[in-house]
Structure 1
């Protein structure tokens, strides 16, 4: 059974759970870019509650652009901002320092294309978790999929369509704001470390 997903920026917990539980991962790379999705954003638990980390992209005059053609806007120092935000959010978490050296290089490297960045975040996360997750990519866009052979989890890239509810785990600021559901996989990684994989394997995903 294939699991069809969009490559996203430091994926949500639901998206990574889908990958961990997949028999075969297939990444959709022929889609048109959609604004306000996790293709270029992720959510973390900051000292002030939920915080959006957004990657600025170059705007095009074309009405439709494929996600794989989307370029990152180099005029903004978003990488420095994102890493500072992660430090403020997770410096006191149990596993931030353990994984810091693995994730920091992505905030120093200049990527031209969003898709390349997203695939590199995937590679970094699998390295942190000591996982080998093989995947293939699409060669054409699938408007409809055969549900007998494919789980279509592309909707997980759009947080508004993702209604998955997960078991609470300890979070840095949960004494202030309580448990915040389905943040970036980084939130789970920095708080749970080596237990991340077991947690993801035991979560139930909801297909609308």
Structure 2
């Protein structure tokens, strides 16, 4: 049976996101959806030496109720250098950083204006590096599309993953500290575990 899941587009999604979609045939994304503040659309979490840090992409204007595909990145701010330095500081010594980071760096170097486009390109790379054969599709109102599940609006920073029934953390090697930090950005897993990342994601799918 084909499994099609409606999801929100995130900036370097966390592991809960991938646990949700890991066994899907496709994910359906909605560029016309209204931008919501305090969401993962423009933020992700990485593990630094002494803390878990949030990286946020600044966006232009006061952000009235407009669609996500109309949100523009505020490239007048120095966010890109901050993100690049933070990622390098967090994962520069990780086993697979030198192999995987160039894929993301190429997208960063494009200085994209659209946050939707940036997130789409980065998610495409993440799925490829994970080896997940999940297709990405844009919702089309002109077609009759049947969804297996719809998790839009559920994965939000203000509600911990433990309140939902999707992700059961599977610990893996992390660079700093003795305590495992679950549900970080997919970057944390990819840079630390490389080809083993897919198996870890599959093990983290919560049994229903």
Shorter-chain TM-score tier: 0.7 to 0.9
Structure 2: how far apart are the matches of 1:206 and 1:84?
37
Task: Quote the Cα distance in structure 2 between the aligned partners of 1:186 and 1:55.
Answer: 16
CA distance in 2, matches of 1:16, 1:155: 15
Of residues 46-55 and 10-19 in structure 1, the stretch that sits farther from structure 2 once superposed is 10-19
Task: Say whether 1:69 aligns with 2:70.
Answer: yes
Query: Does the 8 A contact of 2:175 with 2:192 survive in 1?
Result: yes
| Residue-pair matches, total | 198
**3-state DSSP class of the match of 2:40?**
coil
Distance 1:20 1:126, change over 3 A: same
> How high is the TM-score relative to the length of structure 2?
0.86
> Does the 8 Å contact 1:47/1:89 carry over to 2?
yes
Counterpart position of 2:48: 46
The TM-score normalised by the length of structure 1 is: 0.86
RMSD between superposed Cα atoms in Å: 2.2
Whether the 8 Å CA contact 1:70–1:115 is kept in 2: the answer is yes
Structure 1 residues 87 and 168, CA gap change in structure 2 (3 angstroms): same
Within 5 Å, give how 1:26-175 maps onto structure 2.
Answer: 26-60=28-62, 63-139=64-140, 149-161=147-159, 162-163=161-162, 164-175=167-178
SS in 1 for 2:199: helix
Measure the CA separation in 1 of the matches of 2:49 and 2:72.
Answer: 31
Specify whether residues 45 and 206 from structure 1 end up closer, same or farther in structure 2 by C-alpha distance, changes over 3 A only.
farther
1 CA distance for matches of 2:207 and 2:40?
18
Residue 27 of structure 2: SS of its match in structure 1?
Answer: strand
5+ residue gaps, structure 1: none
Equivalent residue number for residue 27 of structure 2: 25
Most deviating of 115-124 and 102-111: 102-111
